[in-house]
């Protein structure tokens, strides 16, 4: 495993649509392992492959609950309901936060590192994280969806 550099806003890779994963091999496993280590060190709740310079439909989410790290390969949101509006940030946009509206509940269909399909449900922060990371796979960063950006004095210290 190894740490990967997190791509920052302004790098064109963050605006590109990612290609589906077709080979479920050691290279994919290594990417997922590196992303997990990078996320842990960065103290984030999610990370998408383009944020580490890879244009593949791969992301991970870990909100610190009992479910732990969730690896999503070729994820698609297949159902959503409700609404939530709240502060969101991004490892690619350090120290910037905005108010973003997201679904309160989502169901995601994805594959694991071995290519096996599964579905996972998210509510609240987990739903927000799934939506945020899957947006990255389509070249969208949260600031494009933000109702407004937060001023430094609005951010809890």
155 has a pLDDT exceeding 90: no
Task: Considering the candidates 66, 133, 147, 156, report the single residue annotated as catalytic.
Answer: 133
pLDDT tens-digit map of 83-128 = 999 999 999 999 999 999 999 999 999 999 999 999 999 999 999 9
Q: pLDDT confidence of 153, banded at 50, 70, 90? A: confident
Report pLDDT for 156: 67
C-alpha 45/C-alpha 2 separation (Å) is: 18
Average pLDDT of the segment spanning 19-24: 98
Strand residues in 21-152 grouped as ranges (E): 46-48, 58-61, 70-81, 84-90, 93-102, 105-111, 117-123, 148-149
Residue 1 confidence class, pLDDT cut points 50, 70, 90? low
End-to-end CA distance of the chain: 32
Stretch 127-150: mean pLDDT = 97
The question of whether 66 is a catalytic residue gets the answer: no
Taking the C-alpha atoms of residue 139 and residue 51, their distance in angstroms, rounded to an integer, is 10
The Cβ of residue 60 has, within 10 Å, a number of other Cβ atoms equal to 23
pLDDT on residue 58:
98
CA-to-CA distance for 122 and 43, rounded, in angstroms?
20
Distances (CA, A) of 40 to 4, 34, 43, 115, 123: 11, 10, 5, 24, 22
pLDDT of residue 154: 85
Complete domains list, the chain, with CATH: 12-154 (3.90.45.10)
**pLDDT (tens digit per residue) in 27-84:** 999 999 999 999 999 999 999 999 999 999 999 999 999 999 999 999 999 999 999 9
CA–CA separation, 38 and 1 (whole Å): 9
């Amino acid at each position: 495993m190894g740490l990967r550099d997190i791509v920052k806003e302004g790098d064109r890779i963050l605006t590109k649509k990612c290609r589906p994963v077709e080979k479920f091999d050691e290279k994919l496993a290594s990417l997922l392992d590196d992303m997990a280590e990078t996320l842990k060190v960065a103290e984030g709740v999610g990370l998408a492959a383009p944020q580490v310079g890879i244009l593949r439909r791969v992301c991970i989410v870990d909100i610190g609950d009992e479910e732990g790290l969730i690896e999503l390969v070729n994820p698609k949101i297949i159902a959503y309901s409700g609404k939530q509006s709240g502060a969101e940030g991004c490892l690619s946009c350090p120290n910037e936060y905005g108010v973003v509206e997201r679904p309160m509940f989502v169901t995601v269909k994805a594959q694991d590192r071995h290519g096996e399909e599964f579905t996972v449900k998210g509510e609240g922060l987990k739903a927000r994280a799934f939506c945020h990371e899957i947006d990255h796979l389509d070249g969208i960063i949260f600031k494009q969806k933000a109702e407004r950006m937060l001023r430094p004095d609005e951010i809890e210290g």
